Amino acid sequence: MDMHGNSICYRLFLLMSVCAALVCPAAVAKAADSACVTCHKSVTPSIVGQWREGKHAKRGVDCTGCHAARKGAPGAQEHMGAGYITPVVSPNACGKCHPREQKEFTASHHSKAAKFIGSLDNVLGEMVEGGPAANSGCKQCHGSTVKVDQDGKLDAATWPNSGIGRVNPDGSEGACSACHFRHTFSRAQAREPEMCGKCHMGPDHPQIEIYNESKHGLAFKAHRSKMNLESDKWVVGQDYTAAPACATCHMSATPDQPVTHDVGARISWTLRPAISIKLENWETKRANMQGVCAQCHSRSYVKSFYTQYDSAVDLYNEKFGKPAKTVMDKLYAEKLLTTTPFDEKIEWTYYLMWHHEGRRARHGASMMGPDYTQWHGFFEVANRFYNELLPEAEELKKGVTQEILAQDYHKWKSGLSKEEREKILEFYKTRYGE
């Protein structure tokens, strides 16, 4: 059988090669002098330089360990008379040596990120904006389905792509290189907050901006040199104590929890949709995250933080999220809106309220970012809800918001009492002299 296939023999060959490299310097030297390296050090010297700096080179794993392909496999290309290779290294290839990481990653939301294809986000990218915008934008973070044309070459409309949920020609989902950049595959690089921030940023999910605003982010910047990012095990409280990075909370080891490549293993709420819900097994997931928090904070502090966080999410859901959805559902039910997304102004208004401002408010509360919770979050939610969504709904159907405005949350709209107004004015006069 072709040695580059997925046979048991080939897997054993790879395993024996890596094991030999761990104990045999000759295996490392052989990898450094391989035909791939000899050619590519003049053709693509930076790739070879990056590879030499990484642990793959130091353990005798050369280019064929990752790029070798079976003749006839999707995306396989004959390469310079040296056999068949594939440019698309999938989790299946990484899993030959990293099976636990592959299993955890495959179970995570990261590996499913390309499924946004059926969402309103993708309607905006593909239809409202246009396909090339989605190819160079959305799909470079979420991942595309990498296609192979009739000549066996990779379709330029879908490759290159290192989106976290990329669907590979071999059918696997995900791209390890989304976080572990080729060809050094540095763990230290993957532990940097900016690594997560290359996708988790911007108006609809500004996690990196929120982190940078928070005490966690400020502490990381101040004490980065103490973070021991190159550590093999990188256990919080043992290998570093100065600050948490994104990976600390969502992936990395604690004294009583192992590393996980399932980034949802410690998340109890989903903050993505129009109305937040608690995830399946949320109690276990919350306990996992609280175990990380407890490496730096007291249990009572952690519990009180979660009380505040839950209250903020519940507030968003009950005061804004659910009422807004109720209004939109009524308008659709009475056929006052078409079934085409984004062809009417109120659909944009509603989308911006939950998808941008609403997420910012909830993410800000979840990551201790007060400005994103307040001014970039709840303030903008309230402005959009009261000054755009409700008036636009009333224009389409008189009285459709009446029941909502009668709720206690919204009674302030009927006006403050004379005593309440005087109290506020007196405060400003005392505080600001006006």
Query: From the DSSP assignment, how many helices (H) and strands (E) are in the chain?
Result: 26, 4
Which residues, at least 6 apart from 17, have a Cβ–Cβ distance to it below 8 Å?
27, 60, 61, 65
DSSP string, 37-90: HHHHHHHSHHHHHHHHHSHHHHTT--THHHHB--TTSTT-EE-TTS-EE-S---
Three-state secondary-structure class, residue 189: helix
Please give the Cα distance from 27 to 22 (Å, whole number). Answer: 8
Q: What is the structure's pLDDT at 32?
A: 67
User: What percent of the chain stands above pLDDT 70?
Assistant: 93
Average pLDDT, the chain: 92
Across 140-156, average pLDDT: 93
Tokens of 6: 């997925």
pLDDT at 12 over 50: no
Residue 7 confidence (pLDDT): 43
Using the predicted structure, report yes or no on whether residue 217 has a pLDDT greater than 60. yes
Global pTM value: 0.90
Question: Burial code of 354-376, b = ≥16 C-beta within 10 A, e = fewer?
Answer: bbbbbbbbbbbbbbbbeebbeeb
Q: What is the DSSP string of 110-161?
A: GGGGGGGGGSHHHHIIIIIIIHHHHHHTHHHHH--B--B-TTSPBPTTT-S-
Six-digit token string for 428 = 């400003």
Alpha-carbon 217 to chain mean position: 17
Contact status, residue 203 vs residue 380, Cβ threshold 8 Å = no
The domain ranges of the chain are 8-86, 110-178, 187-293, 306-432
Q: Per-residue pLDDT for 127 more than 50?
A: yes
pLDDT for 169 beyond 70 = yes
Q: How confident is the model at residue 375 (pLDDT cuts 50, 70, 90)?
A: very high
Residue 128 pLDDT class (50, 70, 90 cuts): very high
Band of pLDDT at residue 391, cut at 50, 70 and 90: very high
Taking residues 226-247, report their average pLDDT. 97
pLDDT reported for residue 29: 66
φ/ψ of 85, rounded to 5, equals: -135, 165
Residue 312 in contact with residue 373, Cβ under 8 Å? Answer: yes
Element housing 102 (H / E):
helix 99-106
Tokens 């009583």, residue located: 256
CB 88 within 8 A of CB 163: no
Report the DSSP beta bridge partners of residue 240: 236
Q: How large is the average pLDDT for residues 266-289?
A: 98
Using CA atoms, how far apart are residues 246 and 72, in angstroms rounded to an integer? 41
Inform me whether the pLDDT recorded for 19 exceeds 80.
no
Contact 409, 386 (CB under 8 A): no
Burial state string for 244-266 with b = 16 or more CB within 10 A and e = fewer than 16? bbbbbbbbbbbeebebbbbbbbb
**H or E element at residue 218:** helix 215-222
